[in-house]
Structure 1
Amino acid sequence: MTKQNKGRKFFVTTATAALVASAIVPVASAAEFNDADSISSWAKEAVQFLTDKGFIQGDEKGNFNPAGTLTRAEAAEILSKALDLKATGTEDFSDVDENDWFYNAVLATSPELFDGMGNGKFEPKAQLTREQAAKVIVEGYQLTGKADLSQFADASKASKWAVSYLETAVENGVINGKGSLLAPQDKISREEFATMVKRTIDATVKEVTPAVASVQGLNAKELEVKFNTAVDAKDAAVTGKYAIEGVAITKAEVSEDGMSVILTTNKELKLTNGKVTVKPIQTKADTKVLTEEFNKLITFADTTPVNVNSVEAKGTTAVITFDEPVQSEGTVSLNGAELAKDRYTLSGKTLTIKGLTAEQAYKVDIVGATDFANNIANPIAVNFTVLKADADNSKPTVSTAVNGTEITFDFSEELKKHDFVVDKETTIKGYAKVTVGSTVFYLTDADIKDTEDKTVFSIDAKSALGTATFINTNIKVEGQKDLAGNAGDAFEFNAILSKDLTPASLVSASTKMLVADDVNATTDVDALYLTFSEPVKVDGTLTVKTQNGIAYTTGKETAVKADAGFDVDGNGKIEGAEKNTVKVDIDLDSNSSYTFELSAKAVTDLAGNVTADTVTFNVTTGVFEATPETPTDSLVFGATPVVVTDNNVFTVEYAADVTATATNAANYTLGGKELPAGTQLQFVDGTKKVRFTLPEGSITANGNYVLEAINVVDTKGNTLKGGKVTTLVALKENVVPVATKVTAVDSKTFTVDFSENIADQAAPTGVTVKIAGSTVELASAKVEGGKLTVTTKADYTLTDSIVVEFKSTNLVDANNNKVKDGSIAK
């Protein structure tokens, strides 16, 4: 390595260039830095430690620049020294000069730790962010674990790839977020990085004798061995390393982090003081270091039935994974129908069902599943929707049906819309081309029969008949492509198309009372449903002929003009007979019987056939039934969810009136913890707002705290959306300052110290001074520099007692917490 002084930014603590250029790492003390006093108090120990170890140095001027941001090159140098990494040169970085001072450090730490930062580049001068720093430290020290990041107000700003590294860093105490802040994408300072490295070393560099940490039975076929250090994956997978009294081991599966091994046995694992042996196993960090041999007597019996862990459904297959190996699946049903044995296979923990259809919803019921301890599970129900297969190489096929002049095309899968060239000037966006005789049709969005199933199309080809009432013709379907772009083969068939010459007939009539009945009014709007044998258009007059046995010769007429197709059951779909149903708005009386007459020629089907005669029918009515509201998980906080009154009080508002569940402290957490003991909750201004009064001293740091609510129900029975709702509460520290010490300055002046600095105050109130037991007059009193300074009018002696009393004073700390009432004496 030549020119090692090029671009040097590290903390060399001597002024000699010879030491900088040498391969010897100078040992320094943080006190030798010219700017050592500017190092934050929380970082001084870490900087001292790392400089003593030679991991960090200063520049030729003896500067450390603690608040300065860190470059990747500097981080690489620190990590390569702290981890004692050797240069391996596993990747050629286009922007790293082999003559640069950091060259070997880069080769030692990247790509293993920095991954080259992309595109084969290291970008040595680029500044390191907190999330990048967490990544290289976690990977470098092979830290494991996971923490809850919800305590950090801005953790959600972390890049997706960085979340696991940040969680691990927090779990191991590497990052404490400076309170509630994490600022993952902010640049990291030298003193911050030094502190992270020191904390990591403290957490990981401990004398640990590699050994088995614990052994426990998981189920009737599996036993888990946990280690206190990561073990070598190859050595730990050797089944001969383990012995369990009374059973043979068929498989040893090592976890990804090397901290545990799952042993699978050949028969039921049931032990009563059974001996378990784990022979010495090589460790991951050093294969020459082995774990201690482990021997222990354990008792275990599996008494927990099997359950489902996960479901993965894709293409035509669903794989249901259980939480333990299954001896017998019992009975398996699909959408209520029992499956034949050839439709599924059971292997270990997985049940594989085949013959499914992509993008279809299924329910699988498993009844009587039995594990290897013969525990029988309660019925298990699994609901899922099958995803499309990742790779689709099959061509779409089609089946057809003809009814009159209507032709239905049912494709095997969803089609892709693309351009069809009609002529030199015209193109049509469609899904397939259909030729009926010599007449051409194109399947478009308008021809999809059901928006829920976009694989079925229907056209009315009556134009292909011309003046004929029927034709025997060839029909050809071509040009169809599936969503993966696979083109389907052209399909041809012969069919007879015949015009519909039969008028529609009325199939059924029913009523529904939509409003509470007012027999003295004629403005109530109820519903009369007329269902015909096919889709129709109705344009005519509906006349009441009789009501409750009374005949009417005139009046009681309703004009009807409507097309068939109404969602009678209100499920959001027009399906089945609803496609042939017309809704008539009409005033009906409850609990009545009617005879209606629909005028002649009022009904026309889609083929133009007219029902020539009048249509007479009878109906009876019921009573109006108000639809009860169905509770949903829709309850949320209001538009302005939180109003903070002072350091101890804030009010939370819900979007709807809530029950007493909202005043139950057990239904909330604040900052990821239970509400402080003594917190009071009370409804204010109605039952939408809940006031929270926190006990004094419960908030020790300013910041945004996540308030999470669970189990709260509104007055209509609606529960919280998604099971819980959260909002941020900006709280300030609410620890009140307390007087701690009185110090005499001279015969007329003394100072009062507090548990924390109090705000400057030129005219303190609520302060009483007693000297030698008597209240004295004050010449002046003021707060400066966090202390109260008092001057009396008369002198006092050094031996006189001084008592300062505070009552309802105006003295406050920086967060406006008033000084606690009480007294302090000298």
Structure 2
Amino acid sequence: MTKQHKGRKFFVTTATAALVASAIVPVASAAELKDADSISSWAKEAVQFLTDKGFIQGDEKGNFNPAGTLTRAEAAEVLSKALDLKATGTEDFSDVDEKDWFYNAVLATSPELFDGMGNGKFEPKAQLTREQAAKVIVEGYQLTGKANLDQFGDASKASKWAVSYLETAVANGVINGKGSLLAPQDKISREEFATMIKRTIDAVEDVEEEVVPAVEAVKGLNAREFEIKFNTAIDAQDAAITTKYALEGVGITNAAVSEDGLTVTLTTDKGLQLTNGKVTVKPIKTKADATVLTEELNTLTTFVDTTPVNVQSVEAKGTTAVITFNEHVQNAGTVNVNGVQLTADRYTLSGKTLTITGLTAEQTYKVDIVGATDFANNIAHLLTANFTVSKPVADNTKPTVSTTVNGTDIIFDFSEELVKQNLSAKTTTEDYAKVTVGTKVFYLTDAHIKDATDKTVFTLDAASALGTAQFINTKIRVEDHKDLAGNVGDSFETNAILSKDKTPATLVAASSKILVADNTNATTDVDALYLTFNEPVKVDGNLTLKTKNGIVYTAGNVTAVKANAGVDVDGNGKIEGAEKNTVKVDIDLDSNSIYSFELAAKAVTDLADNVTANTITFNVATGTFETVPETITDSLVFGTTPVLVTDNQVFTVEYAADVTATALTAANYTLGGKELPTGTQLQFIDGTKKVRFTLPEGSITVNGNYVLEAQNIVDTKGNTLKDGKATTQIALKENIAPVASTITAVDSKTFNVNFTEAIAKQDTVTGVTVKIAGLTVEPASVAVTDGKLTVTTQKDFTLADSIVVEFQATNLVDMNNNKVKDSSVAK
């Protein structure tokens, strides 16, 4: 796949200056230089080309001085001309004077390409090294790529800050070594710099000429959507023709083209699951030239959607709320609004949207969706959306930002979500804000969002702004940020100290695990030694056995270790906590033994390239290998009819075989994707195949089909669950008992008793006692109307009379058959 050269960035400001007549006289051709004969043969073509363009000049005597070293001022002038940069900088170097010939060149190049010298000066007469020249050229032309510098014997002498620039320069053929040497810190001659500029221009032109319009990547997004990415903007009309695409096993119903013309999202007619499935993309017209077509693509890919649907957004206006999911949904499951299950006529499901009607403006709602199923049959346990129905209100509030600094990481916390813009003059709209740290410019993008659920917080590693310094006290400026409503935030500026991580990692723990049956006479057993550090590391060095069970070993017994931190030590399928800082060493260990080891000096490197200089000595004790019975298999499953629901609080789950007490451990289950409610009781009934679950009152807040998942259950023969878990759906209803809340007088013989939720109608109400003015009375009637209890007395009462209604073993229930609690209410 060919890469496309990124266009040159330009800065636009109001800074201008008059260029004082140059003290250096430009020449039209290299041949006219008095010392042209002294130019090395390998550099003549480059010097000729650049002097013809007017990018480089001779001195006042007409000499080029090819072997002379290059100053910062001369390099700035060459780059400002070669890149067509204008004097738009805002630098205020104390040693740059408007009378100097290089003034405009400094203003043009210093904001992007040259760093200050840390003393408020530009130091124009300072000479450039090869690594400094590589930096300004790579940054100026935005070159990408990476070469291995190990081929050069002196690569280790390169400054840390310069390594990436040298790698990029070598990868693009911009800089060559001197034989087997790179000479990174040697001063660079004028003819070498001219050659590097010429090679860069050639490399950029070659890359641009090599770009062939083609598909860049294909991937499944979910069970109904597939994404095609192109390396060139394509014609929207041609790309929207569905017959241009083919996915094995499914039909294409829609092809949506992104605004920038680089992405097409395909919608399929049914669930998409590919195992080495064929993907075809026929030639498509390009946006810039309809006569140029993309290359046809035929490839194989595998995609399985295992992620349940989620709520993406809610828009509520007037009497309607539209809930948008992140993928197409085939079954909405059970929809509850404010705890009440909706009937089918109150909502419609279409593609990715669920539309709920019959709402009231300026009212707050909570929608709970249980069991929404996508087209890969993934079930979402419980989706909740809280919103207020209202009329659209114009957002006139500007976004604000606060910053914190941790080492070289700067965390930007914006007051609201930002919109993407094209701030960096790239071909795609991907920037959220422009950030300037000192003189270094960055752009915040999706890559700086560490938490996908919070798109208002960005983390930027600004280590490159330090240059060779260990720390800097600098200004951080944030600007050009815009919220989703188009409000542009005010520029924000603050001072902060950024410092490099210079502290090497330290070992905090060592442990072991015997993985195979012990054989003290063999050294081929492979067990595990776990080394946990205080931060993520890379280990590359020798581990030497020093003692074993008190016996000293003076030679040999060396294990070469080369590993990165990040090991699933507990085998739960996740790398979490201290496991992110843990390295596994494959080594032969004997059970019930005590070892001391020594890890070689400089073997441990952290992510900031700090090396632990000293040897690391540690002790570790081994345990015993635990054998697993050969008869154990992962064969345990639920029974044929696994669930029986007794009422809103009790259900029974049956296994296909007798199980151990592991089935009575609440921690081995989740219900609706969450731990079992606190207070849930589990007990065997009718043997050890059936487990009865008794949920606490109030633990189920909305109706729906909840997924019960079991893990770590073992049957009486030691067999574990097939595939590691078992799931089944349980239809549960809200189990919150209604409680009498208030009494409202209607007239002198009638009053209503209100409850925390509507109660169901009963032909005859029992278990109700009425007291008026302290005396128990026999009501004329007690009935349920509109979800309330209406009581009619035989005699009139006054507004001053006290009224008490007591409920004891009443037959009143709510709409889900939950009994009214024994209680009393008074007026």
Could you say whether these structures have the same fold, taking a TM-score greater than 0.5 normalized by the shorter chain as the test?
no
TM-score in terms of structure 2 length = 0.37
TM-score in terms of structure 1 length = 0.37
Ranked by relative contact order (alpha carbons within 8 Å, sequence separation 6 or more), the top structure is: 2
